[in-house]
Chain A
Amino acid sequence: MLILLDVVTTAAILFIVSAGLLAIFGVLKIINFAHGAWLTVGAYCAVVAARLGLNPWAALPLAFAVGAALGTVAEWLIIRPLYRRPLDAILATWGLGIVIGQLITLAFGRDVQITPNLLGGTVALFGLDYSLYRLFAVLAAVLIGGSCAALLEGTRLGLKARAVIMNEALARALGIDTARVRLATFAIGAGLSALAGVLLTPLTSVDPNMGVAWLIGAFMLVMVAGGSFAALAVACLVFGAVQVLVSTFVSPILGSISVAVLAAVVLRISPRGFARA
Chain B
Amino acid sequence: MPDRSTATRPGLAPAVLAPVALALAAAALVWVAPEMLDTFSVNVLTRSLLYAALAVTVDLLWGFTGILTFGQAAFFGAGAYATAIVLTHLGSSPAWVLAALALSVLVPMALGALVGWLSFHHGSTPLYASVISLVFPIVVTQLVYSGGEWTGSSSGLVGYDTLPLDLPGFFRLAGIFAVLVALGAWVFVRSDAGKLLVAVRDNDARCSYLGISPTRVSALLTVALAGVAGLTGFLFAQASGVVAPENTGFLFGTELVIWVALGGRGTVLGPVLGAVAIDYAGATLSGDLPFLWQLILGSAFVVVIILLPDGLAGAIRRGWTRVNARRDAAAPAVVALPAAGAAAGGAEPLLVVTGLGKRYGSLSVLDGIDLAVRPGELVSLVGPNGAGKTTLMRCLSDGTEPYQGSVQVAGRNTRGMTPERIVALGLGRKFQVASVFDSLSVADCLRLARAARDRPSPLGAAATLRLPAASLDILRLTGLDTALVTPVRLLSHGQRQALELAMVVALEPKLILLDEPTAGLTKAERTTIGTILRRLTADLGCAAVLVEHDLDFVREISTRVVVLHGGRLVLDGTVAEVVDSDLVRAVYAGAAHA
Interface residues of A in 241-256 (CB under 8 A from B): 251, 253-254, 256
Give the chain B neighbours of A101 by CB distance below 8 A. Answer: 294, 298
A257 CB-CB contact with B under 8 Å: yes
B403 CB-CB contact with A under 8 Å: no
A142 CB-CB contact with B under 8 Å: no
For A103, give the chain B residue with the smallest CB separation: B295
Q: Given A91-B257, A92-B305, A96-B302, check contact A271 B123 (CB 8 Å).
A: yes
Which one of B121, B138, B250, B261 has the highest number of Cβ atoms from chain A below 10 Å of its Cβ?
Answer: B138
Report yes or no: B142 in contact with A256, Cβ–Cβ below 8 A: yes
Report yes or no: B139 in contact with A257, Cβ–Cβ below 8 A: yes
State the CA gap A222–B264 with chains docked (Å): 31
Report yes or no: A253 in contact with B121, Cβ–Cβ below 8 A: no
**Mask of A8-42 contacts with B, CB within 8 angstroms, 1/0:** 00000000000000000000000100000000000
For A102, give the chain B residue with the smallest CB separation: B295
A144 CB-CB contact with B under 8 Å: no
Report yes or no: B295 in contact with A106, Cβ–Cβ below 8 A: yes
Report yes or no: A87 in contact with B130, Cβ–Cβ below 8 A: yes
A7 CB-CB contact with B under 8 Å: no
Report yes or no: B298 in contact with A95, Cβ–Cβ below 8 A: yes
State the CA gap A253–B309 with chains docked (Å): 38
A254 to chain B, nearest CB (A): 7
Q: Given A78-B302, A91-B257, A260-B138, check contact A86 B127 (CB 8 Å).
A: yes
For A100, give the chain B residue with the smallest CB separation: B298
Give the chain A neighbours of B301 by CB distance below 8 A. Answer: 91-92, 94-95, 98
B113 CB-CB contact with A under 8 Å: no
A135 CB-CB contact with B under 8 Å: no
Main secondary structure of the interface of B (DSSP, over half): helix
A156 CB-CB contact with B under 8 Å: no
Which one of B128, B258, B261, B305 has the highest number of Cβ atoms from chain A below 10 Å of its Cβ?
Answer: B305
Contact of A99 among B134, B138, B295, B309 (CB under 8 A): B295
Interface residues of B in 98-122 (CB under 8 A from A): 118, 121
For A94, give the chain B residue with the smallest CB separation: B254
Contact of A261 among B121, B135, B295 (CB under 8 A): B135
B299 CB-CB contact with A under 8 Å: yes
Report yes or no: B142 in contact with A267, Cβ–Cβ below 8 A: no
A51 CB-CB contact with B under 8 Å: no
Report yes or no: B127 in contact with A257, Cβ–Cβ below 8 A: no
Contact of A90 among B68, B121, B124, B294 (CB under 8 A): B68
State the CA gap A39–B388 with chains docked (Å): 49
For B305, give the chain A residue with the smallest CB separation: A92
State the CA gap A87–B295 with chains docked (Å): 22
Q: Given A253-B142, A254-B146, check contact A220 B135 (CB 8 Å).
A: yes
B291 CB-CB contact with A under 8 Å: yes
State the CA gap A219–B236 with chains docked (Å): 31
Report yes or no: B138 in contact with A95, Cβ–Cβ below 8 A: no
Which one of A81, A91, A267, A271 has the highest number of Cβ atoms from chain B below 10 Å of its Cβ?
Answer: A91
A118 CB-CB contact with B under 8 Å: no
For B307, give the chain A residue with the smallest CB separation: A81
Give the chain B neighbours of A88 by CB distance below 8 A. Answer: 305-306, 309
Task: Give the size of the chain B interface in residues (CB under 8 angstroms).
Answer: 37
A268 CB-CB contact with B under 8 Å: yes
**Mask of B47-65 contacts with A, CB within 8 angstroms, 1/0:** 0000000000000000000
Give the A-B pair count, Cβ closer than 8 A.
Answer: 100
A225 to chain B, nearest CB (A): 13
**Mask of A260-272 contacts with B, CB within 8 angstroms, 1/0:** 1101100110010
For A251, give the chain B residue with the smallest CB separation: B146
For B129, give the chain A residue with the smallest CB separation: A87
Report yes or no: A223 in contact with B295, Cβ–Cβ below 8 A: no
Give the chain B neighbours of A271 by CB distance below 8 A. Answer: 123-125, 128
Which one of B139, B258, B298, B302 has the highest number of Cβ atoms from chain A below 10 Å of its Cβ?
Answer: B302
A276 CB-CB contact with B under 8 Å: no
State the CA gap A216–B138 with chains docked (Å): 9
State the CA gap A251–B146 with chains docked (Å): 9
Give the chain A neighbours of B251 by CB distance below 8 A. Answer: 212
B498 to chain A, nearest CB (A): 28
Report yes or no: B302 in contact with A95, Cβ–Cβ below 8 A: yes
State the A residues within 8 Å of B (CB). 31, 78, 81-82, 85-88, 90-92, 94-99, 101-103, 105-106, 110, 212, 216, 219-220, 223, 251, 253-254, 256-257, 260-261, 263-264, 267-268, 271
State the B residues within 8 Å of A (CB). 68, 118, 121, 123-128, 130-132, 134-135, 138-139, 142, 145-146, 250-251, 254, 257-258, 261, 291-292, 294-295, 297-299, 301-302, 305-306, 309
| New contact pairs (10) apart from A82-B306, A102-B291, CB-CB < 8 Å | A78-B306, A88-B305, A88-B309, A95-B298, A99-B298, A101-B294, A102-B295, A223-B127, A251-B146, A267-B128
Top 10 closest pairs, chain A to chain B, by CB: A98-B298, A95-B301, A95-B302, A102-B295, A99-B298, A92-B305, A253-B146, A260-B135, A257-B142, A87-B68
A-B contact list, 8 entries, CB within 8 Å: A85-B309, A87-B130, A91-B257, A95-B302, A99-B295, A260-B135, A263-B131, A271-B124
